[in-house]
Amino acid sequence: MNYEGIIIRPPSEADSIILQVTVGCSHNKCTFCGTYKGTRFRIKDDEEVNQDIDFAATYCKRQQRVFLADGDALIIPQRRLVALFSRIRGKLPWVNRISLYGNAKAILLKSARELRELKELGLDRVYMGLESGADRILKDIGKGADAAKMIRAGSQVKEAGLFLSLTVLLGIGGTEHSREHAEETGRVVSAMSANQIAVLTLMLLPNTPLYLLEKSQKFNIPDQSGMLRELRLMVENITITKAQFQANHASNYLPINCRLSRDKETVLAAIDQALAGEKRLTPEHLRAL
């Protein structure tokens, strides 16, 4: 496989064939993200991608899923995506799921018909970085979309019959807007009827604008208890009747893997136990992105 730069993928794609079709992120303006800073976004040449598909056809016959990296492969023009998906289907007939990242802009550039076309060719899951449901915070962190636009994008994914996985970020509103962040994020993920909600906890990276704001004391990150209270309030405000809820990423203090709303009261009780010091939390030296 020909990989360039940093390759990231969702935890649930650990056993997938990672096919890098873009380098970097087409947006690359989020103040908290340092993954692609200094990397110019580009779509990889078809010839190079085809070589990787041929490699997978020979050496990856036991892997039944494909994840298209990097930051938002859905930004690729539809004609090229259709050709890519068709080649994957032809060369890797045993693959039963294709997934990718898609931001609100990339999703809304596709019509519902185009998303359904990709579904028919194997697209199953779209991972979308919501981060927060609060307009104030989305603007501050440079997401390039407000809550209404996020909801439209998520709804379009669901209407196409695709699985919608949302990522939200504890602490991204700082201490000042923690309550607003938790409440509005719960509201927005509910409005989007997400199939999966993946919670990460903010860890500041030195190459990001948010890190510099924190160092100049213009942004205050919640402490451990603050993060747990934020998590509790967020869960309280999620009204989805059936969704995977996972806060088991290495950045989190309290690992959670459950179903909402079935396990809601159990989760709230577990958070209360953690706040009371009755549950062991992940120590700082073991947290990671």
Query: Residue ranges of the domains in the chain?
Result: 11-286
pLDDT per residue, tens digit, the chain (289 aa), is 999 988 989 988 999 999 999 999 999 999 999 999 889 999 999 999 999 999 999 999 999 999 999 988 999 999 999 999 999 999 999 999 999 999 999 999 999 999 999 999 999 999 999 999 999 999 999 999 999 999 999 999 999 999 999 999 999 999 999 999 999 999 999 999 999 999 999 999 999 999 999 999 999 999 999 999 999 999 999 999 999 999 989 999 999 999 999 999 999 999 999 999 999 999 988 999 8
Q: Answer left, alpha or beta for residue 101, where phi above 0 means left and psi between -120 and 50 means alpha.
A: beta
pLDDT at 238: 97
CATH number listed for the domain at residues 11-286: 3.20.20.70
Q: Which residues pair with 69 in a beta bridge?
A: 20
Tabulate helix, strand, coil % of the chain (nearest 5). 40, 15, 45
| Contact between 171 and 179 (Cβ < 8 Å) | no
Cα–Cα distance for residue pair 151/155, rounded to 1 Å: 6
| Contact between 234 and 188 (Cβ < 8 Å) | no
Q: How far is CA 95 from CA 71, 88, 273, in A?
A: 22, 8, 43
Give this prediction's pTM. 0.95
pLDDT at 186: 98
Helical spans, DSSP H, in 92-218: 104-109, 112-120, 135-140, 147-159, 178-191, 209-215
Residue 63: exposed, middle, or buried by beta-carbon count in 10 A (0-12, 13-18, 19+)? middle
pLDDT at 74: 96
pLDDT at 289: 82
| Contact between 261 and 268 (Cβ < 8 Å) | no
Which DSSP letter does residue 283 get? P
Segment (H or E) for 166: strand 163-170
- Residue 196's nearest CA partner among 5, 2, 11 is 11
Cα–Cα distance for residue pair 101/99, rounded to 1 Å: 7
What would the 3-class secondary structure string for 31-74 be?
CCCCCCCCCCCEECCHHHHHHHHHHHHHHCCCCCEEEEECCCHH
Q: What does the block give as tokens for 161? A: 């019959």
pLDDT at 155: 96
pLDDT at 84: 98
Q: Could you tell me the end-to-end alpha-carbon distance of the chain, in angstroms, rounded to an integer?
A: 24
Length, in residues, of the chain: 289
Helices H, strands E: what count in the chain?
10, 10
Q: Answer left, alpha or beta for residue 118, where phi above 0 means left and psi between -120 and 50 means alpha.
A: alpha
Which DSSP letter does residue 16 get? S
